[in-house]
A = this chain, B = another copy of it.
Amino acid sequence: MSLDRATMDERVPRDFETLRATILDRRESLPRRIAQIAAYALDNPDDIAFGTAASIAASAGVQPSTLIRFAQQLGFDGFTSLQQVFRERLRERNSSYDERLLALRAKAEGGAGHRAIFDGFVAAASTSLNDISRTLDETHLEDAISLLARAETIYVLAKRRSYPVATYIAYALGKLKIRNQLIESAAGLNAEMIAFATPADAVIAISFSPYAPATIEEARAISERGVPIVAITDSSFSPLAQFARVWFEVAEADFAGFRSLSATMALAMALTVGVGEKRRDSGRRRKA
């Protein structure tokens, strides 16, 4: 007597993500037609959720029995229970994006557990991304990228909360082989570092209220040397905005006293990669 599949196999996937992972995992070892229906299922999950075994099989170009074998191979006892997973997915995802955000936030504010905290940060990040996506000024983006693309060295200036963004910019610039210098205060050598900057360079400065005094001071010093500044900050009253040649207003939502960085990150990456592209293009043009 042999154990049946349900006992033998690891537990049957109950949610779509697990199912997806399982399929992707076994993809290589699946027979041809089963693989065919597997690919179809991941590509057209809605069809699986709503179709009948026959209609799905027809669309995927296999026999209904193959569809059932596929389900069984995954540990389900038939097509119907496989379908449940696809339906559940729709149920969970069905609420519109904004509704989901609201729900998340409500849960985060009302709820007690740590999951609620997590939801709060996700909601804050989503909101911020949404906002910046609506409000970003395209002209500013173009101006900033042009300015930065001309720079010999790009200095990156940010402290405290904004510092992670600065490190990411520095990392990305490095990968793109763009000369850059992160101005950090570890050894207190910032003043000397700044003294190297010339008007042929440029600065990306990031600071949010309450503005780190060091950032402001260094931004002032460097702008007095005639080095153009691109600033990311949170309002037109920001001292950074005064020194900047181009500046972006980014409103980050906050949760539990910590503001999201997602919008700032997205903008920072767009600037960085934008500069990378611009340089490649003009480099090519110059050669041609």
Binding site for B on A (CB under 8 A): 17, 46, 50, 87, 90-97, 100, 104, 113-115, 117-122, 125-126, 129, 132-136, 138, 141-142, 145, 160-161, 163-165, 167-168, 171-172, 175, 186, 255-258, 260-262, 265-267, 269-270, 272-274, 277
Contacts and interface: CB of A to CB of B under 8 A. Distances in A.
A138 B126 contact: no
Contacts of A129: 122, 125-126, 129, 262
A167 to B, nearest CB: 5
A53 B101 CA distance: 30
A114 B274 contact: yes
Copies of the protein in its oligomer: 2
B273 A145 contact: no
Given A93-B96, A122-B133, A258-B269, A117 B274 contact: yes
A90 to B, nearest CB: 5
Contacts of A50: 87, 91
Of A87, A93, A95, A267, the most chain B CB neighbours within 10 A belong to A93
8 contacts: A93-B97, A114-B270, A117-B270, A118-B266, A121-B267, A186-B186, A256-B273, A260-B265
B167 A171 contact: no
